[in-house]
Amino acid sequence: MLTIEVWKPEITADGSDVIYDPYGHIIARVEAKGDFNYNIEADGGYWDFNLNMEGTESDIDEWLEDGLGRTIVLYDDALDVTWAGFVNQVEAPIGNLSIVRGPLDEICNRAVVNYTWMSEVDGELVSTQMGTVVADNDESKLKYGIWEKQLSAGTTMEESEAEDVRDTYLSEAAWPETTKVWTSGGGSSGIRASCLGFVSFAKNWIVTQKEEGVSNVDIPICDPDDLDNSKLPIILRLDPNNLLTDTYARWDFDESQVDMWLWEDQDTDAWSLIRNMIERGDGSAGRMVFGVYADRKGLVVKYKGIPTTLEYQQALRDPGQYVREYQGSKLRYWDVLPGKWLLFTDFLVGRRVNAPPNRDPRTMFIERVAFTTPNGLQLDGGKVHTLAQKLADFGLTI
């Protein structure tokens, strides 16, 4: 049996940033009987979750008003977390009217506006310096956490022009949108919650060389013995929500000693930098995976090398179409995870299993797990190649 818990996050001020506790206080705990589906990615972890629920008129009103940002946690019967994230959008069809709140990840309550300052020198307009103006909507931050967006005001004669662009954008984007569609012919009532994993927060803070104490030098991607001076910890500790920092999340990192530039000479969102880090792999061009997961104590951020042994097997002729542990034990559909090697046992029958797994045509490295109630399971993946990692080390792509 699967169980869904709904939590209201607790968000408190911490200087200009916030402390975002996804497990503030619990709102509801129900058996997961409804129609839902989720995806888990090898590069990202818990990715998205879509849930359809029945509800009374008061339930619908309450979800439309306060549902955005709620934490959704899916547990199995052993109370192990199967998926965790936040409500990004709420849709409620009420008869002929469909109301949509969100998506939350499109709001901006910290606007960062870059501009080029034009000045008159000897009768000519010239670019004299680059500037940045920043502003927050504190009320929105304390309700939804910090959602940072960056935009350009182009060239301006006065800093006030860039400030006007910033303030206009912030006033329009600080709160989720509500859209409505009415159609004739009648309809049904209910609630649809579209959720995202907490890794999505990494798309909404900008990592910049202007950060105090950070320089553009060659450093290792991740050294568990020196977490203060390697790339991944530096990126995560800049999280303005303190959601993925090692103060509030548990880090589970393997060593990856590829020396590289910390980042290019431009402002980049954290997730783009992490994706670049994944592409480079470890010092031997081995594949690494990154994901934000959860357990009963809180969030878990993983950066690991992929396994070198087979962990799952699947028989194409199995009437139940179960995935099993490599030793033979049957797995429930929601126990299957990405980032594992799977062997199809009745494909090319009679051949010896090759090692490493990447050399065997019957293996698949699971990149994505898609589960749909009641028993729909899809695994996407293939082999793992090292050429992409080697080229990424030189700033090239296939």
pLDDT of the chain, 398 residues: tens digit per residue: 789 999 999 999 999 999 999 999 999 998 887 789 999 999 999 999 999 988 788 888 899 999 999 999 999 988 899 999 999 999 998 878 889 998 999 999 999 988 887 666 565 655 566 778 899 999 999 999 999 998 887 776 577 888 898 999 999 999 999 998 888 766 667 889 999 999 999 998 888 755 555 555 567 888 888 888 888 998 999 999 999 999 999 999 998 887 665 555 567 899 998 998 888 888 777 889 999 999 988 999 999 999 988 999 888 887 778 888 988 889 998 999 999 999 888 876 666 666 667 767 788 999 999 999 888 899 998 666 555 555 555 454 44
Are both 168 and 301 inside the same structural domain? no
List of residues 6+ apart from 267 with CB closer than 8 A: 112, 114, 150, 206, 207, 208
- Given a contact cutoff of 8 angstroms between Cβ atoms, the answer to whether 235 and 206 are in contact is no
Are both 188 and 83 inside the same structural domain? yes
Q: Which of 83, 75, 292, 90 is nearest to 194 (CA)?
A: 90
Are both 216 and 281 inside the same structural domain? yes
Domain count for the chain? 4
Q: What's the pLDDT at 317?
A: 81
Domain residues for 327?
312-382
**CA angle at 251 for the pair 224 and 2, rounded to the nearest 5°:** 150
Are both 265 and 237 inside the same structural domain? yes
Q: What's the pLDDT at 327?
A: 87
In a domain, 183, yes or no: yes
Residue 160 identity (one-letter amino acid): S
Are both 340 and 377 inside the same structural domain? yes
Are both 13 and 68 inside the same structural domain? yes
Residue 331 identity (one-letter amino acid): L
Are both 70 and 123 inside the same structural domain? no
Are both 100 and 128 inside the same structural domain? no
Q: How far is CA 85 from CA 50, 204, 206, in A?
A: 11, 15, 21
| CA 398/CA 393 separation, integer angstroms | 12
The sign of the torsion formed by the CA atoms of 342, 347, 350, 356 equals: negative
**CA angle at 338 for the pair 333 and 341, rounded to the nearest 5°:** 100
